[in-house]
A and B are shown apart, each in its own frame.
Chain A
Amino acid sequence: MTIVLGIGFLLMLIGFWGLLTRRNMIKMVLSIAIAESGLQLAMIAIGYINGRTAPILNSETLKLHGALKVVDPVPQALVLTAIVIGVAVNALMLTFVIRLYQQKKSLDISDYRDMKW
């Protein structure tokens, strides 16, 4: 699971890199989405316990001794929340991009200096 955690961190780094260096706003939104996926992967990897099964107690042994046989269900529940909120935030950001594009016909973030000092 160290590998999965590493991949998660790597995806987060790729996302941050895209966020810092790209100027196209759609690419920036995608970078945030990539960083989010990395974070979710890392959370799942932290909750994993080697050699155990999914937290679904569908047999008698699992029902009785589930705590010894399943992985941590709490990070999975949290990632479920994180995915949904991520989707909502991404949709909202893309909407902002669409509105900005309608105003100025440009996707380049450096064309928008109205709020800059």
Chain B
Amino acid sequence: MIKRVISFMVLLGFAFIFGKMLINWLPMSELNGVARAYVEREPQELGAVNVVTAIVVTYRGLDTLGEVSVLFLAATGVALLLRRRKNSTQNKENKRPASEFLKTGSSLLMPFIVMFGVYIFINGHLSPGGGFQGGAVIASAMLLMLLTFPDYRLNHTVLGWVESASGVSYVLVGVLGLLLAGGFLDNRILPLGTYGAILSAGAIPLIYVFIGLKVGAELAGVLENLKQEQ
């Protein structure tokens, strides 16, 4: 009982703080300094149509590297904690096979979902989207396969190689920026190209392809590991 009262008091405190923030909040009416500099200088400097992409990949590219590392550490942690044991294949026979509709439908849809994921991360510098979103879409295709075919095994070796190779290439592109252009993860190692064309914005599409492959492989690995456990 006393615990309930304490939690209620804590919540009330949070509600008070949030209420005060909400009442005193003035919506922004124009961009502040940093955002203004990003929006104004980005088309000339980096040549990406999507400013968010330019910030994520180049201006704050080091953050994205950290983010990818966090994702990698989490995926590794999941794999380590859910390591497959010998007796995990005992209750295989009580699994009901998927229906014909689900099987046909997901085999039909899976290549298109993967293609859409690739589309999202290749167009990350032109439209809303990017490596993480495209990778998540690709992982959702893998989830569809895992749900439809209970015995389906993703190839861990391939997943591991895709993940490691794309991660290493991402860092290598970053180091190339240090050597050939202004700094770590600078996208101007490749020509900027026509503004708005698919092969533009220097190394941003390249970096997003690597991020997309890495995230897709990592999330698919997490799903696979979680599935192994039931």
Evaluate contact between B39 and A92: CB separation under 8 angstroms. no
Report Cα–Cα, A117/B30, bound state, in Å: 52
B132 touches A47 (CB 8 A): no
A1-B27, A85-B67 given; A92·B128 CB < 8 A = no
Are B27 and A2 within 8 A (Cβ)?
yes
> Given that A57-B51, A84-B71 are contacting pairs, would A95 and B28 also be in contact in the complex, using a CB cutoff of 8 Å?
no
Residues of chain A lying within 8 A (CB to CB) of residue B195: 63
Q: Give min CB distance, A54 to chain B, whole Å.
A: 7
**Interchain CB contact (< 8 A) of A80 among B36, B38, B130:** B130
CB-based contact B11/A91 at 8 Å: no
Q: A58-B126, A91-B222, A99-B82 are in contact. Are A49 and B28 (CB under 8 A)?
A: yes
Please classify how large the interface on chain B is, using the bins under 10, 10 to 19, 20 to 34, 35 or more: 35 or more
B29 touching A49, Cβ below 8 Å: yes
Contacts of B71 in A (CB 8 A): 84-85, 87-88
B60 at the interface (CB under 8 A from A): yes
B42-59 CB contact bits vs A (8 Å, 1 = yes)? 110000011110011000
Q: Within 8 Å of chain A (Cβ to Cβ): is B172?
A: no
Residues of A within 8 A of B11 (CB): 13, 16-17, 20
Query: Shortest beta-carbon distance, A99 to chain B, in Å?
Result: 5
**Cβ A49 vs Cβ B27 within 8 A:** yes
Interface 1/0 per residue, B14-34 and A, CB below 8 Å: 110011011001011111101
Residue B168 at the A interface, CB < 8 A? Answer: no
Judged by a CB distance under 8 angstroms, whether B198 is at the interface is: no
Which A47-98 residues sit within 8 Å CB-CB of chain B? Answer: 47-50, 54-58, 63, 66-68, 70, 72-74, 76-77, 80-81, 83-85, 87-89, 91-92, 94-96, 98
Main secondary structure of the interface of A (DSSP, over half): helix
**Which stretch in B72-80, B108-116, B151-159, B202-210 binds the other chain?**
B72-80
| Closest Cβ neighbor of A90 among chain B residues | B74
Given contacts A6-B22, A20-B7, A94-B226, A85 and B81 within 8 Å (CB-CB): no
Of A66, A89, A92, A98, which one neighbours B40 at CB under 8 angstroms?
A66
Contact flag A47-B39 (CB < 8 Å), given A56-B49, A77-B56: no
Name which residue of chain A comes closest to B219, CB basis: A87
- Counting CB contacts under 8 A, is A107 at the interface? no
Instruction: Give Cα A74 to B60, complex, Å.
Output: 10
CA distance A92 to B69 in the complex (A): 14
* CB-based contact A21/B7 at 8 Å: yes
**B70 CB–A CB distance under 8 Å:** yes
Q: Is A5 an interface residue (CB 8 A)?
A: yes
Given A17-B7, A95-B226, does the pair A49, B30 have CB atoms closer than 8 Å?
yes
17 A-B Cβ contacts within 8 A?
A2-B22, A9-B19, A17-B7, A21-B4, A47-B28, A48-B27, A48-B28, A49-B30, A57-B39, A57-B51, A63-B195, A67-B36, A70-B51, A72-B35, A74-B34, A84-B215, A92-B78
9 new A-B contacts, CB < 8 A, other than A48-B28, A49-B28, A72-B31, are A13-B14, A57-B49, A66-B39, A73-B52, A74-B34, A80-B56, A83-B132, A87-B219, A91-B226
5 residue pairs, one from A and one from B, having the closest CB atoms: A88-B74, A20-B7, A9-B18, A55-B51, A77-B55
